[in-house]
Structure 1
Amino acid sequence: MNKSRFLDIIGHWHGKRIGVIGDIMLDEYIMGKVTRISPEAPVPIVEMEQEFSVLGGAGNVANNIKSLGGEVILFGVIGNDEGGKKILNLLRERKIMEELIIDENRPTTTKTRIIALNQQVVRVDREKKESISQEIEEKIINSLENKIKNLDGIVISDYLKGVLTFNLTQKIIRLAKKEGKFIIVDPKGRDYSKYLGATLITPNEKEAQIATNSDENFNIKEIAEKLFDIVKGDGVLITRGEKGMFLYQAESQVFIPALASQVRDVTGAGDTVVATLALALSGGANLLEASILSNLSASITVRKLGTAVVTPEELKQILPEKLELKDGWIFFK
């Protein structure tokens, strides 16, 4: 593996179309400065200087795919409210295609972060986590059935906000497999049988520990193998923060070290990982090559404040000249 090979993959993923299905959120940011403590309670007073909104959750996955040079169709649910309108406007601005269902019985999931001096002071969540109705499920699967032949692959972005029910998730996976499309899942929760048949799942270390009921002294290879046996796909990629990633496949298990970088904000790093994985696979990469590229993308995202995206130019700038696989470890050269 060398820089030329990775440049070839990035070149081939341009214009590939990925379907993203999952929990769509609006991430709101209120930026300001703290000058004093409130006389009403021992809390800081933040004087607002700037506020803005960005796509979060599955929306951030879609935004990352678009930023990396791919095309995307976003499937999911929003409320009939101001948050939903903001999401639709943001999608139009980014020229992201959408097949969104408006659910009158739930608000648009919105996370409002108040930040002062580059530090998050507090976060306010507005959401409803109850499962969507069977009627909404059917609308989502019908939309996917109408579009799937034009897709190169599927990303399932699960934040346990009620959209990806067990039934809907399995319908999506069965449909994708029937049409010969890969399925990447960013999973949540304890029951990974929900993702049975997915090509690749990408839990972080804590999520993998919870899903396998492992204690603090867990063995990374053992919990990856347990998840692999549950999902019965092609691989399990466990993201490990500053420790990098671990890719488990039936024939090989590989540790991918993190790139040394200043971590500013980990918000949305997992979204960047699955977006890069999807495009890399659509561009002809194998799972190991796709995982390495997603590791590099994540190292860029965590240097940025808030829910961020990565561009092909940024990724190309940090591509190593050569990589070596030795004794189950990737070495950057």
Structure 2
Amino acid sequence: MIQRPDTLEAILQAIQGKRILVIGDAMLDNYVWGDASRISPEAPVPVVKVSHETFTAGGAANVALNIAALGGSATLFGWIGDDPSGRRLVEVVRDGGVRVLEGAVSANHETIVKTRIVCRRQQLCRMDREAGPERFALAPDEIRQRLAPALREADAVILSDYGKGLVTTESIRAIQAAAPAGMFIALDPKPRAGIAYSGLSVMTPNRAEALRLADLDDDVGAFPAEAVFARIRDKFHPAHLVVTMGADGMLIGENGRPVEQIPTVAREVFDVSGAGDTVIAALTLAAAAGVSLSDAAKFANTAAGFVVGKIGTATATPEDIRRYAAEARA
């Protein structure tokens, strides 16, 4: 569903300069591009002739880049190692207009790096370099010292949880306690045992994540929306729930029930990497500007429709969205 031009333009104008603090698992995405025309004599695997490689932001860092690309003011806090990959990541996000909060770069941490091998627009494999989640924990006193001033300055907060250790039950509670009353706090969750995502303004899981949050099997067949929304309300009590459904668009819910389905506007899907980052960035920017959740979700749906047509983690600018929406209406 593409919004009317006047509604879309009003949102694009309203979000400019909105201050969003992104807290979560920052990482560097490395893409190795090449071609594969033969099988290795050493093992039944393709031989990739590398043409070039690129680096971009991943995880919470990609969320922050999406905010900046849309015209918001993005501040990022996520542990970044004082290492070559970390320096490259800081350069990428700063070049994209993101402010990295003081203290995020630490010699005590190793930068998370995801390397993807891509041939002929298809991903062959992914290699991850990361330490265990205990290395990335954020203690409540660190939140008070490092994040309290940034929380007071922000119009909204995004918690970008990739399950790497920074977003925990304890850190969520400490952030909520340090934030001004009524602060809009959005969460993109990574469900796992023992974590309590309680009392947030909105949660934006994808279909599989929503089923796990609701303690339902992934192979349930048709998505049981009523049961999912009711169970997530009873467990986590979010004010709103937005479930991204891939080719089926989005489901919006409140008070434990689905209230609106938004059809997808994606015309081509080459890569869903980072699509959830774009959704939560656009949705939170619009909510911070006072846009209704329904219109904010439709705006986010359009932004995500654009980025999934790109290979690799990507961002959308206001002009990208204007052009994409106009083409979709034609």
From 172, 177, 184, give the equivalent of 1:174: 177
**Would you say the 8 A contact 1:192–1:230 is kept in 2?**
no
Deviation at 1:320, TM superposition (A): 7.4
- Report the Cα distance in structure 2 between the residues aligned to 1:21 and 1:263, rounded to whole angstroms: 28
Structure 1 segment 141-290 matched on structure 2, within 5 A: 141-176=144-179, 178-190=180-192, 194-215=196-217, 216-217=219-220, 218-250=223-255, 253-290=259-296
Residues 1:297 and 1:249: Cα distance change in structure 2 (over 3 Å): same
Which one-letter code corresponds to 2:311 in the other structure? L
State the TM-score, normalizing by the size of structure 1.
0.90
Q: Secondary structure at the match of 1:67?
A: helix
- Report the Cα distance in structure 2 between the residues aligned to 1:24 and 1:183, rounded to whole angstroms: 18
From 51, 72, 75, give the equivalent of 1:73: 75
- Report the Cα distance in structure 2 between the residues aligned to 1:192 and 1:297, rounded to whole angstroms: 33
Aligned twin of 1:325 = none
Deviation at 1:315, TM superposition (A): 1.4
Aligned twin of 2:131 = 128
Deviation at 1:230, TM superposition (A): 2.3
Which one-letter code corresponds to 2:133 in the other structure? E
Deviations 1:119-169 (A, max 9, x none): 111111001132247776533442210122221100000000011122112
**Would you say the 8 A contact 1:13–1:282 is kept in 2?**
yes
Is 2:306 the counterpart of 1:303? no
RMSD: 2.2
**Would you say the 8 A contact 1:224–1:238 is kept in 2?**
no
- Report the Cα distance in structure 1 between the residues aligned to 2:244 and 2:138, rounded to whole angstroms: 35
- Report the Cα distance in structure 2 between the residues aligned to 1:193 and 1:244, rounded to whole angstroms: 27
Gaps of 5+ in 1: 322-331
Deviations 1:86-107 (A, max 9, x none): 1111122223111143444442
**Would you say the 8 A contact 2:79–2:109 is kept in 1?**
no
From 7, 26, 29, give the equivalent of 1:27: 29
- Report the Cα distance in structure 1 between the residues aligned to 2:38 and 2:250, rounded to whole angstroms: 42
Deviation at 1:81, TM superposition (A): 1.7
Structure 1 segment 34-113 matched on structure 2, within 5 A: 34-99=36-101, 100-113=103-116
- Report the Cα distance in structure 2 between the residues aligned to 1:274 and 1:246, rounded to whole angstroms: 14
Aligned twin of 2:118 = 115
Residues 1:53 and 1:284: Cα distance change in structure 2 (over 3 Å): same
- Report the Cα distance in structure 2 between the residues aligned to 1:191 and 1:200, rounded to whole angstroms: 20
Deviation at 1:245, TM superposition (A): 0.6
Q: Secondary structure at the match of 1:267?
A: coil
Deviation at 1:205, TM superposition (A): 0.7
Deviation at 1:232, TM superposition (A): 1.9
Worse overlay, 12-21 or 186-195:
186-195
Deviation at 1:21, TM superposition (A): 0.2
- Report the Cα distance in structure 1 between the residues aligned to 2:54 and 2:123, rounded to whole angstroms: 15
Residues 1:285 and 1:121: Cα distance change in structure 2 (over 3 Å): same
Gaps of 5+ in 2: none
- Report the Cα distance in structure 2 between the residues aligned to 1:232 and 1:61, rounded to whole angstroms: 24
Pairs aligned (count): 322
Q: Secondary structure at the match of 2:170?
A: helix
**Would you say the 8 A contact 1:27–1:55 is kept in 2?**
yes
Q: Secondary structure at the match of 2:79?
A: strand
Residues 1:170 and 1:135: Cα distance change in structure 2 (over 3 Å): closer
Aligned twin of 1:326 = none
Residues 1:35 and 1:188: Cα distance change in structure 2 (over 3 Å): same
Q: Percent identity?
A: 37
Residues 1:211 and 1:192: Cα distance change in structure 2 (over 3 Å): farther
Q: Secondary structure at the match of 2:42?
A: coil
Aligned twin of 1:317 = 323
Deviation at 1:271, TM superposition (A): 0.2
Q: Secondary structure at the match of 1:288?
A: helix
Q: Secondary structure at the match of 1:298?
A: helix
- Report the Cα distance in structure 1 between the residues aligned to 2:266 and 2:59, rounded to whole angstroms: 26
